[in-house]
Amino acid sequence: MADYVENDSVLEPTEVSEPTEVSEPVVEYDDAAIEAEYRARKKAQAEYDFAQPYDPEALLEVRHLRKAFPIKKSLFGKVQQELIAVDDVSFKLYPGETLGIVGESGCGKTTMGRTILKLHPSNGGQIIFNGQDITNVKSSKMRELRRQMQIIFQDPYSSLPPRSTVGGILSEPVEVHKIVPAGERKDYVLDLMDKCGLRDYYYERYPHEFSGGQRQRICIARALSVNPKLVICDEPVSALDVSIQAQIINLLKDLQRNMGLTYLFISHDLSVVKYISDKIGVMYLGAMVEFGKKDDIFENPLHPYTRALFSAIPNPNPDIKMNRMVLTGDIPSPANPPKGCRFHTRCPYAKEICKHIPPEYKEYGDGHFAACHLLEEQEG
């Protein structure tokens, strides 16, 4: 892993000026009113955004995506309590880019990836793929579109059907989407296997005969067999040995270059994300708290959560002192997120306002977004 951890200094928390207790005005917060106002504002914002024309250059545009799971239903099926796994996420992804999504377990990144692919039905927002709004598209049309948007799952063991041969698994999508005529199918698959580092005699073998790394290669080959434009990599190396991880990551990078792919790379491993991404999005409890170009984020992390995450990246250089920013408190339950800024319960810089009013997700630099009251204060 040493090749792709840069010998940078680990980031110091930037100085934030805190007003003294005396000069802070005592403000009464009416939570109900705040919430109502917040909702109305969000709704108006969303409506405005939905009406905007699609970005012609973006391959994937996600606007105010929302996914909620019902926890409690009344006797008649009306939802009484829900868990909001993806809360108002918006971003754009351009062709050839790799967007790395990071966050703790349970922050909603996997759900977001699957919702974008319509593997979960969304509960709000727009998903615009290749200039087309696919949010409400019919399932038969969606099946055709799936050829262009693929996914590689985290667990290579359960994502391959145990009773099919490798050849069968890889030929099936080719057959269903009619990529090449039937006669050329086997050669096409063998060529694909070669590109992914699989030997030709693996064609008749069954998934259970392979190691984790090889299985993941099979999954990659399967995803690429249909020549997609977008590939969502959902923690593809988390289940693999460290030594294999590097191989797979490099394979993904090579394939991206050769086939002109766009990646949405989900991971909780920051060093991997740093190596492979062009842009980075940081998620916490279902919301995007920071987003921007990789260099911007690493050199100048804005959100306190981002700063805490990055301070935890181990640096193999013993001479550089680690400046760990340790977060206090437990991660709150996603079913019951904190009021106001969702991060305030663990934020070392939390102020009174953070406990009541959710911060705005704003742009603070060229394509660098974040949502934090402290930044707003600094600005204005």
Partner 1 sequence: MKKRVLLSLRPTDKKGIFKAYIAGKNEKADDMDLYEVFDIIEDIKSDKAQVLDQTDIDRIADDIIADKRDAIDPEAESSQMAEDIKADKQANAFSEAEAEVLGAYIDSCEKDDAEIIEEANEIADKMNESDPPAVEDDEPHDKNVKLMSPTMMVVRRFFRSKLSIIGLIMVIGLFLFSFVGPLFYTQWGMSEPDSSPVTEYAESTFTFVVNGQTYEVRQSTESQSFYNTLAPASPSHPLGTDIEGYDVLARLMYGGRVSLIVSFLAVFLITILGVIIGGIAGYFGGWVDNVIMRLCDILMCLPGIPILLIVGFILDSQGFAESESRIYLLMTILSLISWPGTARLVRGQILSLREQEYMVAAEAMGYSAGRKIFKHLIPNVMPQLIVQMSLSLGSMILYEATLSYLNLGVRPPNSAWGTMINIISSNTDVLKHYPLVWVPAGICIVIAVLGFNFVGDGLRDALDPKARR
Q: Residue 295: which residues within 8 A CB-CB, separation 6 or more?
A: none
Out of 3, 23, 78, 201, name the contact with partner 1 by CB under 8 A: 201
Residue 286, token pair as written in the block: 């279902």
Shortest distance (Å) from residue 343 CB to partner 1: 31
Question: Is position 66 an interface residue for partner 1 (rule: CB under 8 A)?
Answer: no
How many CB atoms sit inside 10 A of residue 11's CB?
17
Comparison of 73 and 208: residue with beta carbon closer to partner 1:
208
Q: Is there a contact between 145 and 113 (Cβ–Cβ < 8 Å)?
A: no
Orientation angle between helical segments 166-176 and 185-195, nearest 10 degrees:
120
Residue 323, token pair as written in the block: 């400046």
**Residue 93 phi, psi (nearest 5):** -130, 125
Pairing state between β 126-129 and 132-133: antiparallel
Nearest-angstrom CA–CA distance, 42 and 88: 9
Kindly determine how many residues on this chain lie close enough to bind partner 1 according to the rule CB under 8 A. Answer: 33
Question: Is position 85 an interface residue for partner 1 (rule: CB under 8 A)?
Answer: no
Question: Is position 78 an interface residue for partner 1 (rule: CB under 8 A)?
Answer: no
Shortest distance (Å) from residue 177 CB to partner 1: 7
Question: Is position 176 an interface residue for partner 1 (rule: CB under 8 A)?
Answer: yes
Shortest distance (Å) from residue 326 CB to partner 1: 35
Stretch that binds partner 1, among 4-12, 94-102, 204-212, 310-318 (CB under 8 A): 204-212
Of 101, 88, 91, 87, which Cα lies nearest the Cα of 58? 91
Burial 342-353, CB ≥16 within 10 A → b, else e = bbbbbbeebeeb
Interface mask toward partner 1 for 93-132; x: CB under 8 A: ---------------------x--x-x-------------
DSSP string, 112-153: HHHHHTTSS--SSSEEEETTEE-TT--HHHHHHHGGGEEEE-
Comparison of 161 and 314: residue with beta carbon closer to partner 1:
161
Interface mask toward partner 1 for 135-164; x: CB under 8 A: -------xxxxxx--xx-x-x--xxxxxx-
Question: Is position 209 an interface residue for partner 1 (rule: CB under 8 A)?
Answer: yes
Question: Is position 173 an interface residue for partner 1 (rule: CB under 8 A)?
Answer: yes
Give, as ranges, the residues between 220 and 239 that touch partner 1 (CB under 8 A).
222, 226
Question: Is position 31 an interface residue for partner 1 (rule: CB under 8 A)?
Answer: no
Contacting residues toward partner 1, per CB under 8 A: 114, 117, 119, 142-147, 150-151, 153, 155, 158-163, 165, 172-173, 176-177, 199, 201, 205-206, 208-209, 219, 222, 226
